[in-house]
Structure 1
Amino acid sequence: MKPTEEYILKQSPEFQEILFYVISVVEQELPSTELLFKWGIPYFYWNKKPFCYLAPNKKKGFVDIGFAKGFQLKHNQEYLIGENRNTVKSLRYYNLDSIPDTILRAVINEAKSL
C-alpha cells in the first residue's frame, strides 16, 4: 500500500470522505497530476511542481486543501484562507456536504492556469 493510501485510511471516516472526494475532483480536472506523500501529507504535483495539499486538522475538525500559489489566485477570495502564510491559500471543509463543487473546481482550474 502506498504511503498516501495508508495516511488516508488512518483518518476518521468523515475526513476520508472529504479526502477521497477532493482527490477525485482534482484528478478529473487535472488528469495528469501525481498524488505523492510529501511533508507527511498527501500532496498533488502538476507538471512536476507542487500544486495542492490535503491536510486534515483533527483539533479544529476540517480538511485544509492548500494551493501552492494560492496568493496569486484572484477569484473566490471569500472562500480562500491565508492565515499568516506567505504563498498558500486554502479551502477548508468540515464535512462532505459543505463542499461547493463549483467553487472547488473553479479554484482548481484557476490555480492550474498560474
Structure 2
Amino acid sequence: MKPAEEYILSQPEPFRSILLHLQILIETSFPEVELQFKWKIPFYYLDNKPFCYLNPSKKKGFVDVAFWVSAHLTKYNEYLVSENRKVVKSLRYFKLEDINEEVLLSVLDEAHQLKEKGFYKRD
C-alpha cells in the first residue's frame, strides 16, 4: 500500500470518510493522476507536476482539496477559500455531506485543462 493511502486510512472519522470519498472521485474522474505522499499529506500529480492535494486539519475540523493553479481558476470561485494563502485556494469540507460533487468535479476539470495549457509549476 502506498504511504498516501496508509495516511488516509489511518485518519480518524470524519476525516477518513471525507478523504476516501475525495480519493474515489478524483481517481475515477482523472485516472492519469498519481497519488503521492509529499510534505506529510496526500498529493495528486499530473505529468510529474502538482495537481491538487488533500489536507485534513484536525484542529479546525475540515479537509481541504487545494489547488496550485488557483489564480487561474474561474469556476465556482465563491466556494474557493484562500485564507491568507497567496497562491493556493481550496474547496473545504467539514463533513462528508458537504461535498458537492458537481462543484468539485468542475473545479478539478478546470485545473486539469489548465495543466494542458502549461499553467503548472514544478515542485
TM-score (norm 1): 0.95
Deviating above 6 A after TM superposition, structure 1's stretches of 4 or more consecutive aligned residues are none
Cα distance between partner residues in 1 of 2:66 and 2:33? 15
Q: Which residue of structure 2 lines up, in the alignment, with residue 57 of structure 1? A: 57
Specify the SS of the correspondent of 2:18: helix
Q: Which residue of structure 2 lines up, in the alignment, with residue 91 of structure 1? A: 91
Q: Which residue of structure 2 lines up, in the alignment, with residue 25 of structure 1? A: 25
Cα deviation 1:32-87 (Å, max 9, x = unaligned): 00000001100000121000000100011000110111121011011001112122
Specify the SS of the correspondent of 2:50: strand
CA RMSD of aligned residues (A): 1.0
Cα distance between partner residues in 2 of 1:9 and 1:26? 16
Q: Which residue of structure 1 lines up, in the alignment, with residue 10 of structure 2? A: 10
Matched, 1:102 2:102: yes
Q: Which residue of structure 1 lines up, in the alignment, with residue 118 of structure 2? A: none
- Can you give the 5+ residue segments of structure 2 that lack an aligned partner in the other structure? 115-123
- Residue correspondences, number: 114
TM-score (norm 2): 0.88
Specify the SS of the correspondent of 1:13: coil
Please tell me the residue identity of whatever aligns with 1:109: D
Cα distance between partner residues in 2 of 1:4 and 1:70? 23
Cα distance between partner residues in 1 of 2:65 and 2:41? 11
- Can you give the 5+ residue segments of structure 1 that lack an aligned partner in the other structure? none
Please tell me the residue identity of whatever aligns with 2:85: R
Cα distance between partner residues in 1 of 2:13 and 2:2? 19
